[in-house]
């Protein structure tokens, strides 16, 4: 039985020439235009209780190119334009499947600038990448090697708010395969004072990346606010300066989360986390900034897809499970546990608990109950309301 290779995206920075940058900017604009036109057509049909699929929008694209008003669509490669229609079809599929909201129009200022090329839209030979209708190969900074003999199936070119250019190559990676099985299991309680607290008693500090750059960010934002509205050069420079601070924060945060999740997946066979609704939690304006900086959702996403890659198991415990108020020694349930209480003594057995370590231990116990009994089996310990304490987590990202 052969194991199917995992497809991974390898992302690199590149430095385009002026001509290449101009061509890519035109492509981004055309991709956005085609997406919005197709979305408008499908929305109008939706209002008439009709449905338009990808094939219909593809035929519309051919007709649009023949009009005088949209003739400029012929100046760029047709591949990323077709891919934008496929992305719109995927967005509607998720909408009809009740997995996402109704697709929104792309904004010139706020939407991500990107274009996706399939194999017919690029050439990759001897480490050189050339895109359709573009002069010369891209000057890519190869910060890490591609898998030996890898051939990209798709190439995505993008530009972030700070003006940096990136190219992402989707390739099969034979090096990603299940790790040797182990008996190790860990429960993880996320927090703000400490980013992670493990059931082993280890506490991992919260780097607070946003707080470290908050003064620089506030100064840059004040400078931007003083610039006149419009597309002037001074305002553009001020906006890019703000964006550079944001991407610095984002890059450091993502790098730290990658290191943590890779370590946890390599060391443990079973990882138990809490099923937090971060979207609702950030409505608390007192904690919203700190929760967003901790990036719990991104941590969970990384943990899940890496576990799927390497043959590990991630179990999510229901958010209503009282992990902090439950004594991990005797099972007694405390009546109240305000956030400011970091250590507490169990009235039943007298054990002194560190709040976060106790929560991580309870999460681990509840998760192992599901792992032993099997998915969908209600664990022995339950709590008022008839809710199941834990649920098996299906990875969001396919390997």
Q: Which residues are catalytic?
A: 189, 274, 356
Report the alpha-carbon distance of residue 247 to residue 224 in Å, rounded: 17
Helices 296-310 and 233-267 pack at an angle, to 10 degrees, of 50
CA distances 346 to 135, 207, 324, 329, Å, are 71, 32, 12, 9
């Amino acid at each position: 039985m052969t194991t199917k290779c995992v497809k991974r995206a390898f992302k690199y920075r590149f430095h385009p020439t002026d001509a290449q940058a101009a061509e890519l900017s035109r492509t981004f604009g055309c991709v956005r235009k085609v997406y919005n036109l197709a979305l408008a057509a499908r929305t109008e049909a939706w209002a008439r209780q009709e449905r338009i699929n990808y094939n219909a929008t593809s035929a519309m694209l051919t007709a649009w190119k023949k009009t005088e008003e949209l003739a400029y669509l012929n100046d760029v490669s047709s591949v990323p334009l077709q891919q934008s229609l496929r992305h719109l079809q995927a967005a509607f599929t998720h909408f009809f499947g009740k997995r996402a909201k109704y697709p929104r129009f792309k904004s010139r200022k706020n939407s991500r600038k990107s274009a996706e090329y399939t194999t017919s839209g690029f050439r990759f030979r001897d480490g050189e990448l050339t895109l359709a209708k573009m002069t010369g190969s891209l000057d890519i900074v190869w910060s890490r090697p591609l898998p030996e003999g890898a051939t990209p199936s798709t190439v995505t070119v993008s530009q972030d708010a700070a003006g940096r250019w990136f190219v992402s190559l989707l390739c099969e990676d034979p090096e990603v395969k299940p790790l040797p099985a182990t008996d190790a299991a860990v429960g993880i309680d996320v927090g703000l004072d400490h980013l992670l607290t493990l059931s082993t008693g280890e506490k991992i500090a919260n780097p607070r990346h946003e707080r470290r750059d908050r003064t620089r960010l506030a100064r840059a934002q004040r400078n931007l606010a003083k610039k006149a509205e419009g597309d002037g050069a001074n305002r553009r420079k001020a906006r890019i300066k703000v964006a550079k601070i944001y991407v610095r924060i984002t890059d450091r945060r993502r790098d730290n989360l990658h290191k943590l999740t890779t370590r946890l997946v390599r060391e443990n066979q079973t990882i138990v986390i809490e099923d937090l609704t971060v979207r609702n939690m950030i409505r608390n304006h007192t904690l919203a900034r700190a929760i967003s900086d901790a990036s719990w959702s991104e941590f969970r996403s990384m943990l899940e897809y890496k576990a799927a890659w390497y043959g590990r198991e991630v179990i999510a415990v229901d958010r209503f499970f009282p992990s902090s108020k439950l004594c991990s020694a005797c099972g007694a349930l405390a009546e109240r546990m305000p956030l400011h209480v970091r250590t507490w003594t169990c009235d039943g057995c007298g054990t002194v608990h560190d709040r976060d370590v106790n929560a991580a231990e309870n999460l681990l116990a509840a998760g192992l109950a599901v792992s032993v009994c099997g998915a969908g089996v209600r664990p022995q310990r339950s709590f008022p309301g008839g809710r199941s304490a834990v649920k098996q987590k299906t990875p969001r990202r396919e390997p």
